[in-house]
Amino acid sequence: MAEPFTTFTAIAAPLEMSNVDTDQIIPARFMRRPRDERYSTYAFHDLRFTPDGAKRDDFVLNRPPFDQAGILVAQRNFGVGSSREAAVYALLALGIRAVVAESFGDIFFSNALKNGLLPIRLAESDCTALRNLVARQPGTQLTVDLPQNLLVAAGSAAYHFAIPDFARDCLLRGLDEIGLTFTLLPEIEAFEAARGTAA
């Protein structure tokens, strides 16, 4: 059972890259490991660290204050690629609770919603404006207000976003999908009986 997701405010970091695929979010070699605190190290690992383990200054999330970011503002097609839910686990472990982008990889979008990482789709111009804002004023905080479907940059702008109803409802109430589906068990059984596929 997840905690209900309502509003939160955090520093936002600009990610000036399109097609940030799930292999960049978490390289495959880490995926054999169980989900634990090490996942924060795996997030964007090869972008954050050199082969000998040193931090790369050229990556935005290594630079203060963006190393404290809780929100990423990206470009198009964030999370494209594999179905690995570990990409979501890694971002959450790093403290990221929302990603703003023009578009998202389909499976990543779904995985994010199921784990309380909010994928916020905004128009290209809005994403660009937000990236410019947080790059120009490092440390700018954004507020995600799920009950109001609003992303707010204090004193600057507010953007309306849409999250699919069912997922939004589950997030707001901290509900669990499997539990909800179990309430439909008679319908599942009836379907199986009608199709002759009962176990």
CA dist 7 and 24 (Å) reads: 28
- Supply the minimum distance, in Å, between the C-beta of residue 155 and another protein: 28
**DSSP structure string for 171-195:** HHHT--HHHHHHTTHHHHHHHHHHH
Residue 119, Cβ density class (10 Å: 0-12 exposed, 13-18 middle, ≥19 buried): buried
Does 32 participate in binding another protein (rule CB under 8 A)? yes
Task: List alpha helices for the chain, DSSP H.
Answer: 22-25, 39-42, 45-48, 86-93, 106-114, 124-136, 165-173, 177-182, 185-195
Phi-psi region of 195 (alpha: psi -120 to 50; beta: other; left: phi over 0): alpha
Task: Dihedral sign for Cα 103, 26, 81, 85, please.
Answer: negative
* Residue of 86, 120, 142, 151 that binds another protein (CB under 8 A): 86
Stretches 53-61, 62-70, 99-107, 146-154: which one binds another protein (CB under 8 A)?
99-107
- Supply the minimum distance, in Å, between the C-beta of residue 128 and another protein: 9
Nearer to another protein, 11 or 130 (CB): 130
Rg (CA), the chain: 18
Binding flags for another protein, 138-157, as an x/- string (CB under 8 A):
--------------------
* Residue of 55, 65, 174, 192 that binds another protein (CB under 8 A): 192
Nearer to another protein, 82 or 140 (CB): 82
Task: Name the one residue in this structure whose structure tokens are 């023009």.
Answer: 102
- Written as six digits, the tokens of 174 are 């901290």
Does 81 participate in binding another protein (rule CB under 8 A)? yes
Nearer to another protein, 1 or 64 (CB): 1
Interface residues toward another protein, by CB under 8 A: 16-19, 21, 23-24, 27-29, 31-35, 46, 51, 75-77, 80-86, 88, 103, 105-107, 109-111, 114-115, 164-166, 177-178, 181-182, 184-185, 187-188, 191-192, 195, 197, 199
